[in-house]
């Protein structure tokens, strides 16, 4: 018998739902999504929270980091995901530069994700309690994100686990409390020791969602493309691949190519034909060469 709580498909997930899950010690399931098809599949599977992550810069657009993706590009993908979601809570990443210049610009950009993209919350990276307060005051739910924050890759000197020193450990605990006090409805804990994530989770009233932060968080999130092996790069230590979509797609594409080359596709039952009543009435153009299918090279 499954211990997974049964939630009706019509029960819309909201920030209050996430809080109730933490209070009831029921794990929160989260995934990234970047298009209608994957969003619909994840929503149908009962995933609680779907994040239109700025990771799309790397796994969808083929860029080297998350930094170049723009607000308009994130909005484009958010709208696509919105069309596939009925139950899950839809959150959009605010990309680098969209909230770093001023709080006013950050609030204005965040409002676009709700008004134009259909998001129900935004996620921002780093310890920015003042910005969280401004966003919450503007009726914009906020998920915070601390630890290994990819938008800070240059400052951190690479994608490195955070909080391994005593000073780093204390700093992240302090940041988490400040973000909760500012009004964040949840916080993503990325790339930190399990012990630290467990302590933060126990200290906070709001839910924690881990990625590379151990099993003690209130929920977990993975990048969809990591989950199904579509990243074309070695996985991080915390990634568990549940399927090999790359191999599935590669085999299907190769089989299709071979069938076209060998004229096995399309088959007769995949082709349309003239009705018998029409065949004898079709006029042949003067000088036209009749098509002889027997001349086609077919594999024996």
| Alpha carbons 93 and 119: distance in angstroms, whole number | 10
Neighbours of 212 (CB within 10 A): 22
* Nearest to 112, CA basis, from 87, 94, 96, 85: 94
| Alpha carbons 141 and 27: distance in angstroms, whole number | 20
Tokens representing 35?
Answer: 């298009």
Give buried/exposed letters for 164-193 (b at 16+ CB in 10 A, else e).
eeeebbeebbebbebbbebbbbbbbbbbbb
Catalytic: which of 180, 190, 195, 247? 190
Whether residue 110 contacts residue 103, with contact meaning beta carbons closer than 8 Å, is answered with: no
36: left (phi over 0), alpha (psi -120 to 50) or beta: alpha
Whether residue 103 contacts residue 68, with contact meaning beta carbons closer than 8 Å, is answered with: no
Cα separation values, 105 from 71, 101, 102, 109, Å? 12, 7, 5, 6
Neighbours of 106 (CB within 10 A): 24
Q: Is 190 an annotated catalytic residue?
A: yes
CA angle 97, 99, 102 (to 5 degrees): 110
Whether residue 198 contacts residue 192, with contact meaning beta carbons closer than 8 Å, is answered with: no
- Residues designated catalytic: 190
């Amino acid at each position: 018998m499954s211990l997974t709580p049964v939630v009706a498909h019509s029960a819309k997930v909201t920030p209050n739902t996430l809080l109730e899950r933490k209070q009831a010690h029921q794990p929160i399931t989260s995934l990234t999504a970047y298009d209608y098809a994957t969003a619909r599949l994840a929503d149908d599977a009962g995933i609680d929270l779907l994040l239109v992550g700025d990771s799309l810069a790397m796994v969808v657009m083929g860029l080297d980091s998350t930094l170049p993706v723009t607000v308009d590009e994130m909005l484009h993908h958010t709208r696509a995901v919105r069309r596939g979601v009925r139950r899950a809570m839809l959150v959009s990443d605010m990309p680098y530069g969209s909230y770093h210049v001023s709080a006013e610009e950050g609030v204005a950009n965040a409002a676009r994700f709700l008004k134009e993209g259909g998001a129900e919350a935004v996620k921002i990276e780093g310890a920015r309690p003042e910005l969280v307060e401004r966003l919450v005051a503007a009726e914009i739910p906020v998920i915070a994100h601390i630890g290994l924050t990819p938008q800070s890759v240059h400052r951190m000197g690479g994608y490195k686990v955070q909080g391994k020193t005593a000073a780093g450990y204390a700093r992240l605990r302090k940041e988490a409390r400040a973000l909760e006090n500012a009004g964040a409805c949840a916080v993503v804990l990325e790339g930190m020791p399990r012990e630290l994530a467990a302590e933060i989770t126990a200290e906070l009233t709001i839910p924690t969602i881990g990625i590379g932060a151990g099993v003690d968080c209130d929920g977990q999130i993975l990048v969809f493309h990591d989950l199904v092996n579509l990243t074309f790069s070695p996985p991080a230590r915390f990634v568990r691949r549940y399927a090999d979509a790359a191999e599935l797609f590669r085999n299907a594409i190769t089989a299709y190519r071979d069938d076209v080359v060998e004229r096995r596709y399309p088959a007769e039952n995949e082709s349309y034909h003239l009705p018998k009543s029409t065949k004898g009435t079709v006029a042949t153009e003067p000088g036209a060469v009749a098509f002889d299918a027997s001349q086609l090279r077919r594999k024996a």
